[in-house]
Amino acid sequence: MKEKRVLVVGSDPYSVRGGMVSVIKNHLEYRDWEEFHLELLITHTEGSKRKKIFCFLKSYIRLVYILLSGRADLLHLHVSERGSVYRKAAVTGLARLFKRPVILHHHGAEFFDFYISLAERKKRRVRRLMEQVNCNILLSHTAEKNFKRFFPNARTEAVANAVCVPAQNPYRGGDGCIVTLGRLGERKGTYDLIRAVGRVRELLPEGTSLWLCGDGEIQEADRAVKDCKIDDITGHVGWVSGEEKSKLLRRASIHVLPSRREVLPMSILETMAEGIPNISTSVASIPEVIQHGVNGYLIKPGDEQALSEYICRLCGDPQLRMEMSRRAYETVKKDFSMEACCSRIKRIYRSCLTPNNGCSEGINKYQKKGKTK
């Protein structure tokens, strides 16, 4: 079978931080794409405004060369919100000139807020983009349903984020570390977590510690820690990756992400793949991963009392943690592994490359009973 070349377009996965670039990196490192060959085109990087503009212009010129030389059969664009949407609109316009199919893979937790805030003229441009592409990939059925409310004529598929899953559950209970992974700030519920730990500090087992792992509102988080008088049991290690992240997760007893707004957080999937029990919020797609009381706990955003109670319950009950660990690991291994995710994406690629087919409805229903995985 002739090799099909897929041009993956998005942020630099080796300099930009966040869930979207983790997905891009995982896709590029996956080895079983069968007849597809993936190549990366970086349209966004970290740095000054000038550096970002130069990065996009350079990539746009490179894209013209790639399309002229016939080196791309399909474009797979990863998009969030704001500037990311406009960059992908420019790329999509060029791809359409060369009659190449385009997939938009949506990751933005604030995309709908961004769209609602636009003037009507800009809304029409965004709506036209969503309806022109061959397929919009959303991260869950919940996200897909919300997307359809705004763009009823767009072609959509639900494909969850995926992570590499160890062959065996590595969790052994941790050593009392409460870990949170992600950008620190109000949206991720960082201050809710800090206050919740402060409320029940005296009730937690001896040796319990809180580790804030991420960039963002670092100084504000440090002030909140001091205000809650838990600075002696709290560590801030910045953004972690690679071996440093692996060592930290081996120490983690639980992972807590009480987000106010989300899509499908990679940190939840990554920690559940390591067997770490999670406490999070019942927003967006999270309830499609965490079943309350089964493989983790869910609270309403901002409910610090419930958050405190579940932190105490999990930290104080090693047997409960081991039971939830087993179920969390099994959930991710079954539905959110790289094999499961990439199998669905390959089906979408084939559909989009089939003449006059676009992206057929119902290719992927990843959590519906009786469907082939």
What is the model's pLDDT at position 76?
A: 98
Contacts of 159 (CB under 8 A, 6+ apart): 137, 138, 139, 341, 344, 345, 348, 364, 366
* CATH topology for the 4-162+337-352 domain: Rossmann fold (3.40.50)
Q: Which of 31, 28, 58, 65 is closest to 42 using CA atoms? A: 58
What pLDDT shows up at residue 16?
Answer: 84
d(CA 361, CA 327): 31
CATH for the 177-335 domain, from 3.40.50.2000, 3.40.50.300, 1.10.357.10, 3.30.420.40: 3.40.50.2000
* Spatial contact of 284 and 143, defined as CB atoms under 8 Å apart: yes
pLDDT at 367: 35
Query: Cβ of 120: how many Cβ atoms within 10 Å?
Result: 6
Residues 6+ apart with CB under 8 A from 306: 299, 300
Strand partners, 7: 39, 75
Mean pLDDT by 10 residues, the chain (373 residues): 91 84 91 94 92 94 96 96 92 96 93 93 95 95 93 95 93 94 94 96 94 92 95 89 89 96 90 97 93 97 97 96 98 93 95 72 38 38
CB 308 within 8 A of CB 200: yes
Domain ranges of the chain: 4-162+337-352, 177-335
pLDDT for res 363: 39
**What is the spatial distance between Cα 156 and Cα 173, in angstroms, rounded to a whole number?**
40
Number of Cβ within a 10 Å radius of residue 251: 13
In this structure, what are the phi and psi dihedrals at residue 174, rounded to the nearest 5 degrees?
A: 70, 180
- Quick check: 27 and 38 in contact, CB under 8 A? yes
DSSP 182: S
Alpha helix positions (H), the chain? 19-29, 49-68, 83-97, 111-117, 120-132, 141-150, 190-199, 218-227, 242-251, 266-273, 304-315, 318-335, 338-352
Crossing angle of the two packed helices 304-315 and 190-199, in degrees rounded to 10: 60
Does this chain's domain 4-162+337-352 share its CATH topology with 177-335?
yes
